[in-house]
C-alpha cells in the first residue's frame, strides 16, 4: 500500500517571483489588484472640460457678518470715593444742613475729591460742592500750602483709612457727623455806628454753619500736627472722630462752644 505524503509548499528561490506569488497568497492578491487597476485606467477616457458649463458665472454669496453673542451688561452706578467708600448709606442728622452738605449719591458721588469745579464764581454755588472736596480744599490754607491739591487729596485718603480702622464705620459718615456737630448755631455780631458799638447775638445761616465747621476742623488738625510726631493725616482723623462724637477733645467742638457762649452773653 502506497502512502501519499501531504503536499508541503517549499519556499522558492528569491529570483523566482511567480513562484513567490504562488507561495505567498498576499503577494498574489496584490499582483491581481494592480493588474485590475491598470486595466480600468486604460479603459478610462479623459473628457475635455465643458467650456459652456465653465462660462456660466456663479454668483458669490454675500458675506454675512459674524454675530457676536448677546451679553447684557448692567450699568454699574455705585460710584465710591477712592473706589472704596460708598455714598449710599450716608445720612445728615440735621435737617437744616441737608441741602448744604453735599453727600447725595446722584449729585455728589465722585471717585476722587477733585472735580475742578468753578464753585466760587457765583454766590452759594459752593453749596453744590461735595463735602469731602470742600474739606480737601480747606487743607490748602496759608501761602505755602496753596495749590497743593494732590497732597491734600492724599492726606484725606490716609485720614479716611485711619478713621475706618479706628471706628469700623464709613469715613464719609464720620465726616458728615463732624461737620454737623462742629457748626455753631449762634454768634455775636457788632451793631452800631460811630463810637457806640455793641455786640448782638444772631442766628447763623446753614451755609455759614458748614463753612465754619470745615474751617474749625482743618484748623484744629493743622495746629495739632505742627511740631508733633504725628502726621497731618493722623491728626485730621483724630479731630474728625472726636468731633463726630461731640467730645471736648476736639478743637472744633471747643471753639463752637466758646462762640455760642459769647453769643448767649450778648442776647
Which position has the higher pLDDT, 77 or 16?
A: 77
Check residue 231 and give its pLDDT.
95
Show me where the domains of the chain are located.
Answer: 11-36, 82-265
The pLDDT of 201-224, averaged and rounded, is 95
Cα–Cα distance, 13 to 233 (Å, whole number): 105
The percentage of the chain sitting over the pLDDT mark of 70, rounded to a whole number, equals 71
The percentage of the chain sitting over the pLDDT mark of 90, rounded to a whole number, equals 61
Check residue 193 and give its pLDDT.
81
Q: What is the pLDDT of residues 94-153, one digit of tens each?
A: 999 999 998 888 888 899 999 998 999 999 999 999 999 999 999 999 999 999 999 999
For residues 221 and 232, is the Cβ–Cβ distance under 8 A?
Answer: yes
Q: What is the pTM of this model?
A: 0.69
In CATH terms, 82-265 corresponds, of 3.40.50.261, 1.10.3430.10, 1.10.150.20, 1.10.455.10, to: 1.10.455.10
For residues 186 and 203, is the Cβ–Cβ distance under 8 A?
Answer: yes
Cell of residue 118, nine digits? 468753578
- Residue 13: phi and psi, rounded to 5, are -75, 150
Check residue 38 and give its pLDDT.
53
Q: What is the pLDDT of residues 186-203, one digit of tens each?
A: 999 999 887 888 999 999
- Residue 186: phi and psi, rounded to 5, are -145, 145
Residues 6+ apart with CB under 8 A from 144: none
For residues 91 and 173, is the Cβ–Cβ distance under 8 A?
Answer: yes
Cα–Cα distance, 236 to 224 (Å, whole number): 9
CB neighbourhood size of 191 (10 A): 12
Check residue 33 and give its pLDDT.
54
CA distances from 240 to 220, 247, 252, 254 (A): 10, 10, 9, 13
Q: Is the pLDDT of residue 63 over 80?
A: no
Which position has the higher pLDDT, 21 or 68?
A: 68
Amino acid at each position: 500500500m502506497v502512502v501519499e505524503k501531504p503536499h508541503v509548499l517549499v519556499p522558492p528561490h528569491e529570483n523566482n517571483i511567480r513562484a513567490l506569488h504562488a507561495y505567498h497568497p498576499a503577494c498574489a492578491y496584490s499582483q491581481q489588484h494592480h493588474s485590475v487597476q491598470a486595466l480600468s485606467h486604460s479603459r478610462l477616457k479623459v473628457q475635455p472640460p465643458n467650456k459652456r458649463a465653465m462660462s456660466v458665472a456663479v454668483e458669490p454669496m454675500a458675506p454675512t457678518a459674524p454675530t457676536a453673542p448677546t451679553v447684557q451688561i448692567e450699568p454699574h452706578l455705585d460710584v465710591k470715593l477712592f473706589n472704596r467708600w460708598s455714598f449710599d448709606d450716608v445720612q445728615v442728622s440735621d435737617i437744616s444742613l441737608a441741602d448744604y452738605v453735599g453727600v447725595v449719591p446722584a449729585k455728589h458721588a465722585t471717585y476722587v475729591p477733585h472735580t475742578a469745579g468753578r464753585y466760587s464764581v457765583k454766590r452759594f454755588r459752593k453749596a453744590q460742592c461735595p463735602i469731602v472736596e470742600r474739606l480737601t480744599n480747606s487743607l490748602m490754607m496759608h501761602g505755602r500750602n496753596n495749590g497743593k491739591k494732590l497732597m491734600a487729596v492724599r492726606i484725606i485718603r490716609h485720614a479716611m483709612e485711619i478713621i475706618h480702622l479706628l471706628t469700623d464705620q464709613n469715613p464719609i459718615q464720620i465726616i458728615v457727623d463732624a461737620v454737623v456737630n462742629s457748626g455753631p448755631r449762634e454768634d455775636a455780631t457788632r451793631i452800631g455806628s460811630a463810637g457806640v458799638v455793641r455786640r448782638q447775638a444772631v442766628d447763623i445761616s446753614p451755609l455759614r454753619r458748614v463753612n465754619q465747621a470745615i474751617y474749625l476742623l482743618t484748623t484744629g488738625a493743622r495746629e495739632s500736627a505742627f511740631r508733633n510726631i504725628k502726621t497731618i493725616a493722623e491728626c485730621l482723623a483724630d479731630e474728625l472722630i472726636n468731633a463726630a462724637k461731640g467730645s471736648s477733645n476736639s478743637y472744633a467742638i471747643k471753639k463752637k462752644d466758646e462762640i455760642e457762649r459769647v453769643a448767649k452773653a450778648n442776647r
